[in-house]
Amino acid sequence: MRTLNKVIIVLIFILAGVLFFHNLTSVNVDIGRHIKLGEIIWEMKEVPKTNLLSFTESEHVFINHHWLSEVVFYKIYSLGGDWITGLRLLMVSKTLVLLAVYCFLFLTVKKHNIFSIVFAFLVSVFVFSARTEPRPEIFSYLIFSAYLFILYKAKSTIPDSKRTFKIRTLFWLWFLPILQVFWVNLHIYFIMGPILFLFFLIDEAINRKNWKSKIGIFILVVLSNFINPNFIKGALYPFTVLGNYGYSIVENSSLFFLAEYFGRWAPQDKLFLISLFILVGSFVLWFWKRKKLTTSNVVNFKTRVFDLLLMAMTVILSFKMQRNIPLFALSLWPVMSENLGNFFNFEFQKLKKWFTVGIIFILTASIYLVISNQFYGWLGSAKIFGWSVSSAAQDGTDFIKSNKIQGPVFNNFDIGNYLAWQLFPEQRVFVDGRPEAYSVEFFDKIYKPMQRDEKIWEEKSKEYNLNYVFFAHTDITEWGYEFLEKISKNEEWPIVFLNDAVVIFLKNTDSNRSVINQYMITEQNIRNDISKILDRLDKKNSGAFVNYGNILYRFGWLESSARVFEALIENQPDNPYGYQGAAYAYAVMNDEETQEKAVINFEKAIDLGFKTFNNYFTLGIIYANRKDFFEAEDNLIKALKINPNNQNARDALKMIENKLRGF
């Protein structure tokens, strides 16, 4: 059995490794800015305190709470001979860091039953896998897991004598102030360090242990937070950072808000909810088992104070902000392993052997599902196993450089980090992906109004003397949608570059005439070249097809949009995004043949799980237009079950019901 247990442990880390080793989905979002700022800090030998990447708010004060992570990223990236090799080195390094995270956790849980370890691991790692990009937070995960290892080690140290017990316990705890000095300069989650230690002290006090001897270490942990370039402001930054946020970010939103906004729970958020129910169930099993083992009617929860505080905190934080879910996932492994430790107690060797074989099968099957990308397909994730890196944004910046297009540039929030990486210092960006680096007034009175109001766009584009627009068309904001629809029809800003991630509009001036004449993109030449365009897209990357099809739909180039989604259906016939995208393109074309295609594709998308309000509502309207009132009524009722307060759906259903009464 020991050999089989070793096989299981190896499989655990193989599964973790393949989950962490995937394509760089955030290449257009964060990593570029981190590399650039790391380079600036390394060369300047100081941490900039103003927003030097932007020409719009260059003097705005900015507290960089993850500067050390950026230096690390830059030094790793610089080892590569070119941009893609450098990014792949970062991806490998990220994988190793995350494996170290789970190594610390394994050392924390290894004393438990192997079956409880594996069960809790599977729940933990699949929830955690939602956020495994090379971001500064990976270092927080590493130190967070190290904290858990040390605190659990201190909690479980077996006393042999009073003096040696005290020395051995304190020995582990003295590492924490040192870790805290690194943490406060690596990532904003550093505030978790003092909180975890406080939970540990509460646990010690309730269990009448020698908690007073550890207060000195706790004070050092707290004081360590002041060892950062911004001193007191840096130490208190977690409490003030959101006070100057003029821009909402998906990952900073609550789970309930996201579910309401998108009309459904994201698969990864569903995994979190499932794991929470499993965690609660494991506590129930622990309670039941402890009650059976004790003669008293009262189960003593004192020994679980730290676990209960830890899980309560991470659950609350996860519901409050989606980005906090990984902290819950990491905390879950040791806590659930403890809960299930006595439950998986097999008296018969034969049964134990079969459970072991079953676990090996489950782990092996899980590894296969990840490597084959079936797991990511089920999640609707853009991740792919391996180290592929999209060159879409890079192709855009290469286009700017090769054609010597000069700024100033107007860019959206999402792509600003990449532009800063590729164009600074020759060109500065309009905005980048740091809400805290810009004033609230900037977003409310300049950035958003420029995209929503054509008059303000005309006024501000002249004020800033804008020469081109570099826009990530995957932007899901309302103002981003409105801006792209308007500017795509503006003859003063023709499209000169378009791929599955970015679009470039160039101001129609004499100095830009040669570039416009050579590269101008219209609906006609997209339609003529659609086959060549589809050949350039990665057939394994469904996100590339979805993004390209969506932007063509936004521009009103419906035939080409439908072609893109049909190509996705051909490549991945079980992917609901292809059917949904084609359905909307065909629905807007509004003739009898395309309406029939829209119905077929909507029904297929719904069958594959996309049971959203918009899909049911649009399908109901199409059926109504085709005089199929019974089907229209059925779909509108389903739409209203999802969103019962939608007035358009209520009015449409009332009209359909009146029609049916007429029969």
pLDDT band at 662 (very low <50, low <70, confident <90, very high): low
* 46 against 302, higher pLDDT: 46
The reply to whether 543 falls in a domain is no
Which pLDDT band, with edges at 50, 70 and 90, does 41 fall under?
very high
Residue 279 clears pLDDT 70, i.e. is over it: yes
pLDDT at 539: 79
Distance of alpha carbon 285 from the chain centroid: 32
Q: How many domains does the chain have?
A: 3
Most confident of 166-175, 177-186, 435-444: 177-186
- Please report, rounded to a whole number, the percentage of residues in the chain having pLDDT higher than 90: 67
Summarize the confidence of residues 628-636 as an average pLDDT: 90
Last residue of a domain, one of 521, 549, 567: 521
Q: Both 396 and 369 in a single domain?
A: no
Angle at alpha carbon of residue 380, lines to 374 and 382, rounded to 5°? 90
Nearest to 134 by CA among 13, 26, 39, 37: 26
Residues 64 and 109 in one domain: yes
Smallest Cα–Cα separation from 565: which of 548, 551, 550, 578?
Answer: 578
Residue 663: exposed, middle, or buried by beta-carbon count in 10 A (0-12, 13-18, 19+)?
A: exposed
| Burial (Cβ within 10 Å: 0-12, 13-18, ≥19) of residue 476 | exposed
Whether the pLDDT of residue 202 is over 70: the answer is yes
- Binning pLDDT at 50, 70 and 90, where does residue 491 land? very high
Q: Which domain holds residue 22?
A: 2-379
Is 400 a domain residue? yes
The rounded distance, in Å, linking the Cα atoms of 197 and 203 is 10
Predicted confidence (pLDDT) at residue 564 exceeds the cutoff of 70:
yes
Examine the domain organization and report whether 402 and 364 are in the same domain.
no
What kind and span of H or E run contains 120? helix 114-128
Q: Which residue has the higher pLDDT, 529 or 120?
A: 120
Instruction: Classify the C-alpha dihedral 232-234-238-240 as positive or negative.
Output: positive
pLDDT at 463 > cutoff 90 = yes
Nearest to 652 by CA among 627, 617, 614: 617
Tokens 């509009």 belong to: 505
pLDDT, mean of residues 134-142:
96
Residues 288, 202 within the same domain: yes
Domain boundary (344, 379, 414) is at: 379
* 495-498/468-472 β-pairing: unpaired
Which of 347, 379, 411 is the C-terminal boundary of a domain? 379
351 within some domain: yes
Same domain for 326 and 418, yes or no, is no
The answer to whether residues 340 and 420 belong to one domain is: no
Q: How confident is the model at residue 347 (pLDDT cuts 50, 70, 90)?
A: very low
- 250 and 160 part of one domain: yes
**CB proximity list for 266: less than 8 A, separation 6 or greater:** 258, 259
**Residue 308 domain-assigned?**
yes
Q: Rounded mean pLDDT of 457-468?
A: 96
Give yes or no for residue 205 having a pLDDT over 60: yes
Collapsed DSSP state (helix, strand, coil) of residue 556: coil
Q: So what's the pLDDT on residue 293?
A: 66
Token readout for 38 is: 């790391």
Pick the residue with more confidence: 656 or 299? 656
**pLDDT (tens digit per residue) in 11-32:** 999 999 999 999 987 666 789 9
Number of residues that this document lists for the chain: 663
pLDDT surpasses 60 at 269: yes
Predicted confidence at residue 418, as pLDDT, reads 94
Please state, in angstroms and as integers, the Cα–Cα distance from residue 522 to each residue in 54, 217, 416, following that order: 31, 66, 26
pLDDT at 114 over 80: yes
Instruction: Output the DSSP codes for 345-379.
Output: ----HHHHHHHHHHHHHHHHHHHHHHHTTHHHHHH
| CA distance readout (Å), 32 to 58, 65, 320, 431 | 19, 17, 28, 14
The position carrying tokens 């004060």 is 61
Q: What 3-state class would DSSP assign to 498? A: strand
Residue in the block written with tokens 């009650």: 291
pLDDT at 149 over 60: yes
507: domain CATH number is 3.40.50
pLDDT, the chain, mean: 90
Residue 548 located in a structural domain:
no
pLDDT of residue 455: 95
Contact 341, 109 (CB under 8 A): no
Asked if residue 655 is part of any domain, the answer here is: yes
110 and 248 assigned to the same domain: yes
In terms of domains, do 396 and 375 share one? no
Q: How far apart are CA 446 and CA 452, in angstroms?
A: 10
φ, ψ for residue 300 (rounded to 5)?
-80, 115
> Given a cut of 80, is residue 169 above it in pLDDT?
no
Q: Which of the pair, 514 or 242, is modelled with greater confidence?
A: 514
Task: Give the pLDDT of residue 157.
Answer: 63
Backbone angles phi, psi at 314, to 5 degrees: -70, -30
Q: Residue type for 387, please?
A: W
Asked if residue 600 has pLDDT above 70, the reply is yes
Residue 47 lies in a domain: yes
* CATH number reported for the structural domain that contains residue 625 in this entry: 1.25.40.10
Q: Are residues 72 and 180 in the same domain?
A: yes
358-368 pLDDT tens trace: 899 999 999 99
With beta carbons less than 8 A apart as the criterion, state whether 414 and 28 touch: yes
Backbone φ and ψ for 278, nearest 5 degrees, come out as -65, -40
- Distances in whole angstroms, Cα of residue 553 to Cα of each of 572, 573, 619: 20, 21, 18
Q: What is the pLDDT of residues 293-345, one digit of tens each?
A: 665 555 567 888 999 999 999 999 999 999 999 999 999 999 999 998 877 66
Q: Is 634 in the same domain as 495?
A: no
Domain assignment present for residue 536? The answer is: no
49 & 125 share domain: yes
